[in-house]
């Protein structure tokens, strides 16, 4: 009898993990997206080595992640998502202290923990801002990851994060790193496509096909001035919020959106950068079209708050995109334009981008694509694609490009989701 009870106890213990898994199933998912391409850099300044053409294999936002949900009752669901960049190449380089740099690889993408219910969806974590998520309403023409969202739209940026000046840029005078160096740094501001980190998010339920989203990044980087090291620590209190309202009607054929973002102490201290974007699209059956326009002002023009000494800098970009169903796939095309930056003491800060290609759906999870994409930068501009891991100077990641450099890709891509 004791042996019988012991056997039942062992069986029950072995069954417990299975029961727990059934209550909160974990899903592994991801996408691997690679391109083989010929890349041509033209009009490259002599100081950067001149024109060069080379071949490369690049990854377009390859990722993997874990998802888990649990029904709590009362119409509520708890959920978890952890998503990471999928590194598709070996990295052996080390820093001066022997650590292996991840160069952004393996870092968190859209990751959060939250509650869903009749009230909507509330969560904490690292996620795309409501502004950044709007690209899904209009960008139908990108092929192989080469398009306006990965190049011009929302991408006025430097290699700096733009969210803090401590130990970044000219901290001795508290000048913002985005524009202080002028044409030599290609006069780019921080990117609008990046995710808010360690932030609070809310998504409303759908009301007549309308949804509201909001996100708040708190001021955890707040810093006080230091009497002992004023050259490296300045007073700042950075925070930001973003919100959007969107409409999707007629069974998903019609889309429209508007979004805004406010970023306090992201350029100079005391002032708040701000801007808005709007757009949408419509599927006519024979063609799907979309478009967007964005305007953002970097409040760098107040010398009393550490400004760079010239006026506020305003960036304006727009893009049109289309997709034509053809056979088992689509023809995709886009055109984007970055207008010159207003408020700078120098000119030639605009750029143009276009792409054209075909994506062939081999199955619901696998697709092949091929096409061509090109960026033409003016003399003081250096847009590139986020997928590019090498500039004209060599193998190191180069963002932005040397001012005035033009870039053309002829590519074949493959995408597989699991």
d(CA 160, CA 211): 33
Task: Supply 297's token pair.
Answer: 């002002």
d(CA 320, CA 287): 13
Give the model confidence (pLDDT) of 278-304 as tens digits: 999 999 999 999 999 999 998 876 544
Within a domain: residue 175?
yes
pLDDT at 149: 93
Within a domain: residue 338?
yes
Within a domain: residue 300?
yes
* pLDDT above 70 (res 15): no
pLDDT at 79: 97
Which position has the token pair 């090498």? 390
pLDDT at 156: 66
pLDDT at 195: 87
200-214, 298-312, 365-379, range with the lowest pLDDT: 298-312
Percent of the chain with pLDDT over 70: 75
* Residue predicted with more confidence, 277 or 186: 277
pLDDT at 47: 78
pLDDT at 38: 95
pLDDT at 24: 62
d(CA 289, CA 356): 14
31-45, 163-177, 208-222, range with the lowest pLDDT: 163-177
Give me the phi and psi of 10, to 5 degrees please: -65, -40
* pLDDT above 60 (res 376): yes
Q: Whose CA is closest to 36, among 22, 9, 54, 15?
A: 54
Residue-wise burial string across 106-124, b where 16 or more C-beta atoms lie within 10 A, e elsewhere: eebbebbebebeeebbebe
Give the model confidence (pLDDT) of 46-85 as tens digits: 877 789 999 989 888 899 999 999 999 999 999 999 999 8
* pLDDT above 50 (res 119): yes
Q: What is the largest CA-CA distance in the chain?
A: 91
* pLDDT above 50 (res 268): yes
pLDDT at 225: 63
Domain CATH number, residue 329: 2.40.160
Helix (H) / strand (E) containing 14: helix 2-23
Give me the phi and psi of 132, to 5 degrees please: -65, -35
Within a domain: residue 290?
yes
Find the Cα–Cα–Cα–Cα dihedral 107, 148, 58, 46, rounded to 10°: -110
Within a domain: residue 361?
yes
In the beta sheet, which residues pair with residue 265? Answer: none
The total number of structural domains that make up the chain: 1
Q: Say which DSSP state 402 is in.
A: S
Task: Supply 251's token pair.
Answer: 């069974």
Within a domain: residue 120?
no
Assess contact for 343 and 349: CB atoms under 8 A.
Answer: no
First to last CA, the chain: 49
d(CA 409, CA 139): 19
* pLDDT above 50 (res 175): no
179-193, 228-242, 323-337, 391-405, range with the lowest pLDDT: 179-193
Q: Which residues 6+ apart lie within 8 Å of 5 measured at CB?
A: none
Give the model confidence (pLDDT) of 187-210 as tens digits: 345 677 778 888 999 999 999 999
Within a domain: residue 411?
yes
d(CA 410, CA 127): 32
Q: Quote the domain boundaries for residue 177.
A: 36-75+140-191+244-417
Most confident listed range (153-162, 336-345, 409-418): 409-418
pLDDT at 108: 78
Within a domain: residue 256?
yes
* Residue predicted with more confidence, 389 or 86: 86
Give the model confidence (pLDDT) of 221-233 as tens digits: 787 766 665 555 6
* CA triple 215-218-221, angle to 5 deg: 140
Q: Whose CA is closest to 233, among 249, 222, 245, 247?
A: 222
pTM score, two decimals?
A: 0.83
* SS3 assignment, position 405: coil
Three-class DSSP labels, 380-395? CCCCCCCCCCCCCCCC
Assess contact for 261 and 240: CB atoms under 8 A.
Answer: yes
The beta-strand segments (E) located in 147-287 are 195-203, 210-217, 239-249, 254-264, 272-283
pLDDT at 347: 82
pLDDT at 228: 60
Exposed, middle or buried: residue 58 (CB in 10 Å: 0-12, 13-18, 19+)? buried
């Amino acid at each position: 009898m004791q042996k019988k009870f012991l056997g039942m106890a062992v069986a029950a213990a072995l069954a417990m993990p299975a029961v727990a898994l059934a209550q909160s199933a974990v899903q592994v998912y991801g996408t691997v997206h690679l391109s083989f391409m010929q890349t041509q850099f033209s009009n490259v300044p002599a100081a950067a080595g001149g024109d060069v053409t080379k071949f490369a294999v690049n990854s377009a936002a390859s990722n993997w992640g874990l998802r888990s949900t649990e029904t709590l009752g009362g119409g509520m669901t708890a959920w978890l998502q952890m998503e990471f960049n999928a590194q598709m190449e070996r990295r052996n380089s080390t820093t001066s202290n022997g650590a292996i740099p991840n160069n952004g690889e393996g870092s968190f993408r859209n990751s959060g923990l939250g509650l869903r219910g009749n009230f909507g969806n509330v969560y904490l974590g690292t996620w795309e801002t409501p502004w950044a998520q709007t690209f899904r309403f209009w960008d139908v023409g990108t092929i192989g990851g080469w398009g306006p969202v990965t190049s011009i739209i929302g991408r006025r940026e430097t290699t700096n994060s733009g969210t803090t000046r401590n130990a970044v840029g000219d901290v001795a005078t508290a000048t913002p790193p985005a524009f202080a160096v002028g044409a030599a740094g290609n006069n780019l501001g921080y990117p609008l496509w990046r995710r808010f980190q360690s932030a609070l998010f809310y998504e409303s339920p759908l009301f007549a096909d309308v949804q509201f989203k909001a996100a708040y990044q708190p001021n955890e980087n707040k810093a006080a001035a230091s009497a002992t090291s004023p050259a490296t620590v300045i007073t700042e209190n950075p925070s930001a919020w973003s919100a959007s309202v969107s409409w999707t009607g007629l069974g998903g054929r019609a889309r429209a959106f508007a979004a805004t973002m406010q970023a306090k102490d992201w350029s100079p201290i005391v002032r708040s950068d701000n801007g808005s974007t709007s757009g949408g699209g419509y599927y006519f059956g024979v063609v799907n079209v979309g478009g967007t326009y964005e305007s953002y002002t970097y409040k760098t023009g107040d010398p009393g708050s550490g400004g760079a000494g010239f006026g506020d800098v305003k960036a304006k970009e727009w893009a049109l995109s289309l997709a034509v169903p053809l056979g088992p796939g689509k023809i995709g095309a886009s055109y984007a334009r970055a207008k010159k930056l207003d408020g700078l003491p120098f000119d030639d800060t605009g750029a143009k981008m276009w792409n054209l290609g075909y994506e062939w759906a081999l199955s619901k999870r696998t697709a092949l694509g091929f096409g061509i994409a090109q960026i033409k930068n003016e003399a003081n501009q250096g847009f590139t694609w986020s997928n590019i891991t090498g500039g004209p100077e060599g193998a190191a990641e180069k963002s932005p490009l040397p001012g005035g450099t033009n870039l053309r890709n002829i590519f074949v891509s493959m995408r597989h989701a699991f």
